[in-house]
């Protein structure tokens, strides 16, 4: 009945965010903008995963408080999403070399994977890069 479709991130600058995620291997598959230029949407694909970047830029940003909760960038919600890589050191070196990351973070040992690290996109959204193998999480009896 249900199947996963996409994750949406509210972003400040669509072009900057799109470039960041392209640096992580995502490919742009769809772009849309309303006639007033206040709302832009971009879908990016990585394998079977679809990421939607949502950029809402009203003419008068002071009026954001009058908008419905779904239209504002500030809200509780997504903590992070994760991308699995074969070799974390190689992935971080490639991202740093391409200018996607200003500094190369140090991986740490994971509880559900071999190693992981968190990076941040241009709008402060957390992306976890993890290196397998993934382990099965202990299930309660």
pLDDT of amino acid 58: 66
Residues 6+ apart with CB under 8 A from 57: 37, 38, 39, 40
Mean pLDDT of the chain: 81
What is the separation, in whole angstroms, between the first and last Cα of the chain? 28
Predicted confidence at residue 119, as pLDDT, reads 92
The CATH homologous superfamily of the domain defined by 79-141? 2,3-Dihydroxybiphenyl 1,2-Dioxygenase, domain 1 (3.10.180.10)
pTM above 0.85, yes or no: no
CATH number of 1-77: 3.30.70.270, 3.10.180.10, 3.90.1280.10, 3.90.1720.10? 3.10.180.10
């Amino acid at each position: 009945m249900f199947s996963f479709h996409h994750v949406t991130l509210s972003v400040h600058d669509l072009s900057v965010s799109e470039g960041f995620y392209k640096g992580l291997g995502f490919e742009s598959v769809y772009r849309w903008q309303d006639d007033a230029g206040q709302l832009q949407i971009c879908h990016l694909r990585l394998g079977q995963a679809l990421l939607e970047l949502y950029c809402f830029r009203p003419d008068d940003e002071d009026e954001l408080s009058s908008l419905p909760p779904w239209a504002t960038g500030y809200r509780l919600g997504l903590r992070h999403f994760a991308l699995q890589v074969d070799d974390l050191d190689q992935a971080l070196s490639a991202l740093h070399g391409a200018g996607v990351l200003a500094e190369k973070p140090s991986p740490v040992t994971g509880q559900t994977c071999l190693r992981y690290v968190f990076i941040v996109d241009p709008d402060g959204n957390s992306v976890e890069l993890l290196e397998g193998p993934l382990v099965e999480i202990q299930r309660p009896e």
